C-alpha cells in the first residue's frame, strides 16, 4: 500500500515535514540536535517555513476551487478549513494543558506551568478558559495554530483577489508595513498582543499563495542567487553575534549594532522575511520537482509527515514537552538519541496511520 500521496509537488510536503520535525526539536531546550535546526543557521526558523508553505498549499487547493467553482464556494471551503484548524487548536489546548499539569504534579515541579505560561490558568482557571475560546489566552507552544486560523479565515473572503495578484500583494504589504510602523496587533487577555502578529505574518502567507499561483518571480537568476546567499551569510553572522555566541558582539562595529538589534519574531522583522525568502528562492532553484533525494526512504518519511501537517503539528507539540521533561531529568547523549528517535518515529506513525485510513476509505467496498 503506497501511503505517500502522488500527483502533487512533493517538495512542499518534504520541506513542511522538515519544518515540523524542527518545531519538535526547537521546543526541547536541552536537545543537542536542535543546535542544527534552521533557527541556529538562519535568522528565520521553522515557523516561517511552515506559514510560507501553508500559503503555498492553500493557493494550490483553494485557487483550483476558485477556478472551478467560483469565489463563494472556494471561500466557504477555506472558512471550513479555518474552523477545522480552530477545533484542532482547542483540542490541542486541552490535551497540552492536561499533559503539563500531569508532569508538574508527577515530578512535583510546578515551575513547568510557569515555563509555558499556564500559571494564569492555575490562578484564574475560569477566566483563563473563557479567554482561551476566542484565543485571547495563548500559552507558549500554543500560538502557531491561532495565527493560522486567523490568516485562513481572513483570506477566505478575499480569495477572489488571487486573480488580481498585484492588488493582493500591495494590500498585504501595506498592512504589514502599517502594523510594524504603528504597532498594530490583535489583543490578548494580558494586553501585550499576539506572539505571532497575524497583521504582519499574513504577508508571508500571501507571498506563498502568489508563488504557488504564478511561480517564482522573474528575477535575474545568478544575481539573485548571489544576493540570497549573501543575505543568509549576513543573517548567520548576526545570529552568531546576538544569539549563538553573544560575547562576539564586542567585535561588531558601533555603527552596525543599532541595525542588528530587536530583530523581533512577533512582527516578522524584515530581516527574518528576507531570510526565509532567500531560502525559498534557493530551494526553488536547486531542488527541482522530482528530486531523487526526496523519493528516498528517508525523504519519504518527511514527505509523509508533511502531507499530514495538522495532525503531526499537534503531535509535535505534545511530544516535544514530553521530550523536554525527559531531558530535564536525563540530558545524556543516549537519552538524546532516544527522545529524537522516538519523536521522529511517532510523527511518522501518526502520519502513516492517517495515510492508511485515507487509502483504505478511498478503496471501493467489496461486493
The answer to whether residues 116 and 139 touch, using CB atoms and an 8 Å cutoff, is: yes
Tell which residue, 215, 197, 259, has the closest CA to residue 234: 259
CA–CA separation, 154 vs 168, rounded Å? 13
Which residue is it, cell 505534545? 318
Decide which of 158 and 242 is more confident.
158
Contacts of 3-9 with C-beta under 8 Å, sequence gap 24+, read 3/304, 3/352, 3/355, 3/356, 3/359, 4/300, 4/303, 4/304, 4/307, 4/355, 5/307, 5/355, 5/358, 8/60, 9/60, 9/289
pLDDT above 70 for 365: no
User: pLDDT tens, 239-249?
Assistant: 888 877 777 77
DSSP state of 364: P
pLDDT above 60 for 73: yes
Show the CA angle centred on residue 53, arms to residues 116 and 51, nearest 5°.
Answer: 35
Q: How confident is the model at residue 289 (pLDDT cuts 50, 70, 90)?
A: confident
Give per-residue burial for 42-65: e unless 16+ CB within 10 Å, then b: bbbbbbbbbbbbbbbbbbbebbeb
Which residue is it, cell 491561532? 146
SS3 2: coil
Decide which of 361 and 315 is more confident.
315
Q: What is the mean pLDDT of the chain?
A: 92
CA–CA separation, 184 vs 197, rounded Å? 8
- pLDDT > 70: what percent of the chain? 98
Interacting residues of 252 by C-beta distance below 8 A, sequence separation 6+: 241, 260
Residue 109 corresponds to which cell in the numbers above? Answer: 515541579
Give per-residue burial for 113-147: e unless 16+ CB within 10 Å, then b: bebbbbbbbeeeeeebeebbeebbbbbebbbbbbb
Tell which residue, 354, 266, 340, 277, has the closest CA to residue 308: 354
Residues in the chain: 367
Across 172-192, average pLDDT: 94
The answer to whether residues 355 and 5 touch, using CB atoms and an 8 Å cutoff, is: yes
pLDDT above 50 for 367: no
User: pLDDT tens, 184-239?
Assistant: 999 998 778 999 999 999 999 999 999 999 988 889 999 999 999 999 999 999 98
Residue 205 corresponds to which cell in the numbers above? Answer: 502567507
What is the reported pLDDT for 253? 78
The answer to whether the Cα torsion of 14, 232, 168, 211 is positive or negative is negative
- In angstroms, what CA-CA distances link 78 with 119, 215, 360? 35, 22, 26
Across 137-146, average pLDDT: 94
The answer to whether the Cα torsion of 335, 336, 337, 343 is positive or negative is positive
Tell which residue, 155, 153, 161, 160, has the closest CA to residue 79: 153
Amino acid at each position: 500500500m503506497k501511503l505517500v500521496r502522488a500527483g502533487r509537488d512533493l517538495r512542499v510536503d518534504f520541506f513542511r515535514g522538515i519544518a515540523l520535525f524542527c518545531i519538535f526539536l526547537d521546543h526541547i531546550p536541552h536537545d543537542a540536535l536542535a543546535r542544527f535546526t534552521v533557527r541556529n543557521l538562519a535568522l528565520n526558523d521553522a515557523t516561517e517555513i511552515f506559514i510560507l508553505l501553508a500559503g503555498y498549499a492553500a493557493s494550490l487547493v483553494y485557487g483550483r476551487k476558485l477556478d472551478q467553482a467560483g469565489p463563494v464556494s472556494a471561500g466557504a471551503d477555506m472558512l471550513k478549513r479555518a474552523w477545522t484548524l480552530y477545533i484542532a487548536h482547542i483540542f490541542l489546548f486541552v490535551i497540552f494543558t492536561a499533559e503539563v499539569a500531569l508532569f508538574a504534579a508527577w515530578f512535583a515541579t510546578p515551575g513547568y506551568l510557569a515555563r509555558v505560561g499556564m500559571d494564569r490558568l492555575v490562578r484564574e482557571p475560569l477566566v483563563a478558559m473563557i479567554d482561551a475560546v476566542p484565543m485571547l489566552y495563548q500559552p507558549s507552544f500554543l500560538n502557531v495554530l491561532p495565527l493560522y486560523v486567523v490568516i485562513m479565515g481572513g483570506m477566505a473572503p478575499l480569495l477572489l483577489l488571487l486573480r488580481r495578484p498585484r492588488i493582493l500583494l500591495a494590500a498585504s504589504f501595506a498592512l504589514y508595513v502599517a502594523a510594524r510602523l504603528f504597532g498594530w496587533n490583535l489583543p490578548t487577555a494580558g494586553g501585550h498582543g499576539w506572539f505571532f502578529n497575524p497583521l504582519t505574518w499574513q504577508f508571508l502567507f500571501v507571498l506563498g499563495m502568489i508563488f504557488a499561483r504564478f511561480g517564482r518571480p522573474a528575477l535575474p537568476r545568478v544575481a539573485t542567487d548571489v544576493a540570497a546567499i549573501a543575505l543568509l551569510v549576513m543573517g548567520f553572522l548576526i545570529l552568531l553575534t546576538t544569539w549563538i555566541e553573544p560575547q562576539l558582539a564586542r567585535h561588531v562595529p558601533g555603527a552596525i549594532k543599532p541595525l542588528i538589534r530587536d530583530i523581533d519574531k512577533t512582527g516578522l522583522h524584515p530581516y527574518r522575511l528576507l531570510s526565509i525568502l532567500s531560502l525559498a528562492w534557493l530551494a526553488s532553484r536547486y531542488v527541482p520537482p522530482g528530486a531523487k533525494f526526496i523519493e528516498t526512504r528517508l525523504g519519504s518519511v518527511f514527505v509523509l509527515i508533511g502531507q499530514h501537517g495538522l495532525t503531526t503539528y499537534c503531535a509535535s507539540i505534545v511530544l516535544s514537552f514530553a521530550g523536554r521533561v525527559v531531558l530535564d531529568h536525563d540530558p545524556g547523549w543516549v537519552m538524546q538519541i532516544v527522545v529524537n528517535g522516538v519523536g521522529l518515529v511517532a510523527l511518522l506513525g501518526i502520519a502513516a496511520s492517517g495515510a492508511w485510513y485515507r487509502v483504505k476509505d478511498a478503496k471501493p467496498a467489496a461486493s
